[in-house]
A and B are shown apart, each in its own frame.
Chain A
């Protein structure tokens, strides 16, 4: 018995152990604060908040749920990438494999799909909450601006992901969606002032988005890369700014 205790002491007093567990059990006030402030994930949150801040009535926790859904989508999306190939000849078959053949593939796909819908909704609800509680007012105007960018990239993620199943719904949704770019002033070949810069179907804004004049292989690859790497990376950058600003500006509504 004593030997076990000795070993426990030797281990828990070793340099390695103490370099990982940098404070004692969070049973004292000091250790509780340290547990939060010395941990990179936990320190996003203040070490102390007022009791009122727990009130879901004020924030609806919609920002937090949006972030949680983003994490869910990142994990499920990463797993989907192991079976999905962005090749126009096989993308649709891969989707069917994911649904019917891959173990738990259908759960994964549905998590990703419902998560995506839920994220769009929760981001919009979060924005509405910030608006109705007046939390966009000084000094938080900058964070509102960052929030608008986050909304845009959430929608872009949703739109770019929509093409990937490569079924009729995807094809026509993205055909219609990218056709809007035809009407861009100056940069779209059917928009106002298209002639000023000599825009045509094979050199305008839509052409750059699709990498061609029709929704085909190059469009699928471009949307895939934006969806899986480009947009999530940009979103993470702006999320970091968003969270950092929340800490710097403080919570609104006397929380």
Chain B
């Protein structure tokens, strides 16, 4: 902007105009570069187990049992209670260790700093700040259970409703 000395009105000078264009182009370029770099750091292919997996059929999980057969490969427990089947993610909400299921104590216990969780995933002891997460669980067209660990919930009422509990 320059001021017209005679009339006192402000107008865009030639230099100001080109400078605005140059700075605008530079800013746009930098923003685009930032976006490109951010996108670059998101891999499109992961060489690791998929977040989505098939987990057998509902009949594999009798009521009242914490099934640990998928814990090693997928880091989830399959649990069947009155409310239905849910897939509880075996990552401690404290700092990410893997808790263990103790039938005799009827709770999950984390070996790292001693967090305890109920069957529902609620914290009853230790430093964990929030309940264990449940993964999305649905029934596929072929009758198999489909779990997606990328979609999670850990608080009622959300965690007790579809798609985080499979009614059977």
Contact = CB atoms under 8 A, between A and B. Distances in A.
A179 B43 contact: no
A213 B41 contact: no
B42 A207 contact: yes
A208 interface: yes
B43 A200 contact: no
Give the interface size class of chain A. Answer: 10 to 19
Contact of B51 (A172, A190, A202): A202
B42 A190 contact: no
B41 A202 contact: no
B48 A216 contact: yes
B67 to A, nearest CB: 22
A172 B97 contact: yes
B95 A218 contact: no
A211 B42 CA distance: 7
A217 B47 contact: yes
A201 B42 contact: no
B97 A213 contact: no
A220 to B, nearest CB: 12
A212 B95 CA distance: 18
Contacts of B152: 189, 200-201
B41 A175 contact: no
Q: Which of B47, B48, B95, B130 is packed against the most chain A CB atoms within 10 Å?
A: B48
A148 interface: no
B141 interface: no
Nearest to A189: B152
Interface in A167-200: 172, 175-176, 179, 189-190, 200
Contacts of B95: 175-176, 179
Contacts of B42: 203, 207-208
Interface of B: 38, 41-43, 46-48, 51, 93, 95-97, 130, 133, 149-152
Given A200-B150, A217-B47, 14 more contacts: A175-B95, A175-B97, A176-B96, A190-B93, A190-B130, A201-B51, A201-B149, A202-B46, A208-B38, A208-B41, A208-B42, A212-B43, A216-B47, A218-B46
15 contacts: A172-B97, A175-B95, A175-B96, A176-B95, A200-B151, A200-B152, A201-B149, A207-B42, A208-B38, A208-B42, A211-B41, A213-B51, A214-B48, A216-B47, A217-B47
